[in-house]
């Protein structure tokens, strides 16, 4: 028995139940049921310093079961992070540092946004991968400057979600021994007991993934410490299954699904406080012993970081070249933008014909040679996505210095892991698949956007022009479905030259993800009438064919359809036609009306705007002059050669020219 840890656990329960009750919203079951784990983890086990939540070599904790957020906020407050009692009292209120689910960037000590179950533990896999890569790159025989663990807390919901299975399989395969996952084994879900839906042998499942599986009691501090020690002594990732009682301490709901997702109610609070030995009239009570414990431990936390700082200084002095690489790796966004123009990118010339996916591969390799911390991989599509890094070692258990990842056919897991790598720091991360299969990774992309992570998604085979694979693989609605996600920018370059700029702009972005939509079919490098197009394109669009000062028609086209628009414009001699390449509609839409009008020709009296994209017309309504002026594909495709499929769908230069002549 540890009275001070008991005081911490009691305070976690007190703060959690009162905050949830005051908000009249929240999930008390997990905070009440796992308070002891939080107490011993933050109070004795983890290497961290509340005075510096961004210490590079800290242990990371990811609350994958994000609905139990008050567990995290309470322990962060008690441990000395910047979470105040007033923050806790404003739980789930607009602008609070304690939102309903943990949100990255809002609260010191919150390592990532969680709540969508399974994603937290999956990104924890990425964090563990990042730690091992940095250790392989920077540790020396005499210094271990990268040496930390990644912890995560999951419930049954996380283990039911498919993404956690994808990433658990990868973690076991990669032997991520510094990943330790606690399973809050209360066997309760929202609808009742988990035996309604989850009867497999979880320990056996994780053992088959290549994990060490241990079990113990959620309420035994020494047992938990011993289990963590055993986890640290094994080269495999570890799942620690802790038997628990959901809503422990609240007799009206403990052990039942009623504890999961609703306040205890005033009567329930009174009963719980009486049961726990608390004064029912005192709200947001914190046991003085809890504060005393963390005041004592605060000195130890600071001393541990100070010791690391001394080691880091000595390492820096002895290994100055490694220190330079370190500083490069840890710049904001993981990319030193000043080096973007120093990369030896390909020199394409007018008339060169190449798929933008192929050009992307060449550009990626040019930037990879300048940025050794640019890392990524594909969901079993390295060749088709053209994302192999020449000369790069493939990351695996024996070669953690690798920078390319084989994720297998696990798009969601891949994207969640990529988020974790980016969150950890020290890298700029990308991942790749076919554009159509971005549907499989969308929830992780959405979290990347919410967390403002500058992840790059390489999405090839971007239209019906992929041909023979048919409608299952031909994206028609996908571009628009990505564009509507807030803070996501979709770049669809029209030719190899634009692809260079698309990559540059993607890497220069620091506050959100970029999707590169790339062709399978060849595109031809075309003449650009705008002499300053390489700068204008930063606005999201630029003039390819001016068509006079006052064009009769302006065509807004994206990707491979810019070439189609140019050809159609040449065929229509009766009208002056401007062609604008829209690299990113979202970026273009964010420009001032003056800039938009200057490019579209509206400020010059352009009479009509036609949009062209090999996808659905949705989203273009605000740009095209009329509904009929959106030249699009509003149906699924067919299986056949790409050009024949397009012709079958009526998506041809001839038909576009007819539309322009109207």
pLDDT, tens digit (0-9, with 9 covering 90-100), for 489-523? 999 999 999 999 999 999 999 999 999 999 999 99
CA distances from 118 to 98, 381, 485 (A): 21, 24, 21
Tokens at residue 199, please? 């009867």
CA distance 115 to 656: 46
- Rounded to 5 degrees, φ, ψ at 188 are -125, 140
CA distance 333 to 393: 23
Going 429 to 431 to 500 to 582, the CA torsion angle's sign is negative
For residue 337, the model assigns a pLDDT of 86
Mean pLDDT per 10-residue segment, the chain (662 residues): 94 99 99 99 99 98 99 99 98 98 98 99 99 99 98 99 99 99 98 97 99 99 99 99 99 98 98 98 98 97 99 99 96 85 95 99 97 98 98 98 98 99 98 99 99 99 98 99 99 99 98 99 98 99 94 97 99 96 99 95 80 98 95 98 98 99 94
Tokens at residue 575, please? 């009208």
Helix runs in 490-572, H state only: 496-508, 533-536, 561-571
For residue 604, the model assigns a pLDDT of 64
Strands 608-612 and 553-557: parallel
Tokens at residue 263, please? 């306040």
Q: What kind and span of H or E run contains 353? A: strand 353-355
3 state DSSP class of 185: strand
Where does residue 135 rank: exposed (0-12), middle (13-18), buried (19+ CB within 10 A)?
middle
Neighbour tally for 592: CB within 10 Å: 9
Name the strands in the sheet holding 60-63, side by side, starting at the edge strand that comes first in the sequence: 60-63, 150-154, 179-185, 238-243, 212-217
Contact 608, 600 (CB under 8 A): no
CA distances from 167 to 54, 136, 203, 230, 415 (A): 25, 22, 16, 22, 10
Query: Per residue in 102-143, pLDDT tens?
Result: 999 999 999 999 999 999 999 999 999 999 999 999 999 999
Q: What kind and span of H or E run contains 142? A: none
Global pTM reads 0.98
CA distances from 154 to 32, 61, 172 (A): 15, 11, 17
Comparing CA positions, the residue from 211, 164, 148 lying closest to residue 417 is 164
DSSP state of 339: G
Residues with catalytic function: 411
For residue 332, the model assigns a pLDDT of 84
∠ CA 584-587-589 to the nearest 5 degrees? 105
DSSP state of 460: E
Taking each helix axis from N to C end, the angle separating 288-318 and 69-79, rounded to the nearest 10 degrees, works out to: 80
CA distance 275 to 657: 79
Longest dimension (CA), the chain: 90
Complete domains list, the chain, with CATH: 3-301 (3.40.50.970), 333-524 (3.40.50.970), 541-661 (3.40.50.920)
- Rounded to 5 degrees, φ, ψ at 285 are -75, 135
């Amino acid at each position: 028995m540890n009275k001070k840890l008991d005081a911490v656990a009691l305070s976690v329960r007190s703060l959690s139940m009162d905050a949830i009750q005051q908000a009249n919203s929240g999930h008390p079951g997990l905070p009440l049921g796992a308070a002891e784990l939080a107490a011993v983890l933050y109070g004795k086990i983890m290497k961290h310093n509340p005075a510096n939540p961004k210490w590079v070599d800290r242990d990371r904790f990811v609350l994958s079961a994000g609905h139990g957020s008050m567990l995290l906020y309470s322990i962060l407050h008690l441990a000395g992070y910047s979470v105040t009692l007033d923050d806790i009292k404003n739980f789930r209120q607009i602008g609070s540092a304690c939102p309903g689910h943990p949100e990255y960037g809002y609260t010191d000590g919150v390592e990532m946004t969680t709540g969508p179950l399974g994603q937290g533990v999956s990104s924890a896999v990425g964090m563990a991968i990042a730690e091992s890569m940095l250790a392989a790159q920077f540790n020396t025989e005499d210094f271990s400057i990268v040496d930390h663990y990644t912890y995560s807390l999951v419930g049954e919901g996380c283990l039911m979600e498919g993404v956690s299975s994808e990433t658990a399989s990868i973690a076991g395969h990669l032997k991520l021994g510094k990943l330790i996952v606690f399973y809050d084994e209360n066997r309760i879900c929202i609808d009742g007991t988990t035996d309604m839906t989850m009867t497999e042998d979880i320990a056996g499942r994780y053992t088959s993934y290549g994990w060490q599986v241990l079990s113990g009691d959620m309420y035994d501090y020494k047992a938990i410490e011993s289990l963590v020690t055993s986890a640290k002594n094994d080269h495999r990732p570890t799942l620690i299954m802790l038997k628990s009682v959901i809503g422990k301490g609240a007799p009206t709901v403990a052990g039942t699904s009623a504890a999961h997702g609703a306040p205890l109610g005033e009567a329930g609070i009174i009963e719980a406080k009486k049961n726990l030995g608390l004064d029912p009239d005192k709200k947001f009570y914190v046991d003085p012993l809890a504060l005393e414990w963390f005041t004592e431990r605060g000195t130890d936390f600071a001393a541990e970081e100070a010791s690391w700082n001394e080691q880091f200084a000595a390492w820096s002095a002895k290994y100055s070249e490694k220190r330079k690489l370190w500083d490069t790796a840890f710049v904001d966004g993981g990319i030193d933008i000043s080096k973007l123009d120093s990369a030896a990118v390909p020199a394409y010339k007018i008339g060169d014909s190449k798929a933008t996916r192929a050009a992307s591969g060449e550009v990626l390799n040019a930037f990879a040679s300048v940025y050794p911390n640019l890392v990524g991989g594909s969901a079993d599509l390295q060749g088709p996505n053209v994302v192999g890094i020449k000369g790069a070692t493939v990351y695996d258990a024996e070669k953690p210095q690798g920078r390319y990842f084989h994720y297998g056919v696990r798009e969601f897991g891949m994207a969640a892991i990529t988020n974790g790598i980016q969150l950890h720091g020290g890298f700029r991360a990308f991942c790749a698949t076919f554009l159509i299969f971005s549907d499989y990774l969308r929830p992780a992309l959405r979290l990347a956007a919410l967390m403002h992570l500058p992840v790059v998604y390489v999405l090839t085979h971007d239209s019906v022009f992929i041909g023979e694979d048919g409608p299952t693989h031909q994206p028609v609605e996908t571009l628009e479905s990505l564009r509507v996600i807030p803070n996501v920018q979709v770049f669809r370059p029209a030719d190899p030259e634009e692809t260079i700029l698309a990559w540059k702009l993607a890497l220069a972005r620091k506050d959100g993800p970029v999707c590169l939509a790339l062709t399978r079919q060849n595109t031809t490098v075309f003449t650009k009438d705008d002499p300053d197009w390489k700068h204008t394109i930063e606005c999201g669009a630029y003039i390819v064919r001016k068509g006079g000062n006052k064009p009769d028609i302006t065509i807004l086209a994206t990707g491979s359809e810019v070439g189609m628009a140019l050809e159609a414009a040449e065929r229509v001699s009766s009208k002056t036609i401007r062609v604008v390449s829209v690299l990113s509609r979202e970026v273009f839409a964010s420009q001032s009306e003056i800039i938009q009008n200057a490019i579209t020709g509206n400020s010059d009296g352009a009479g009509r705007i036609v949009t062209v994209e090999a996808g659905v017309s949705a989203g273009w309504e605000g740009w095209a002059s009329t509904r009929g002026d959106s030249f699009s594909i509003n149906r699924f495709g067919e299986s056949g050669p790409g050009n024949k499929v397009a012709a079958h769908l009526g998506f041809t230069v001839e038909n576009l020219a007819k539309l322009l002549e109207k």
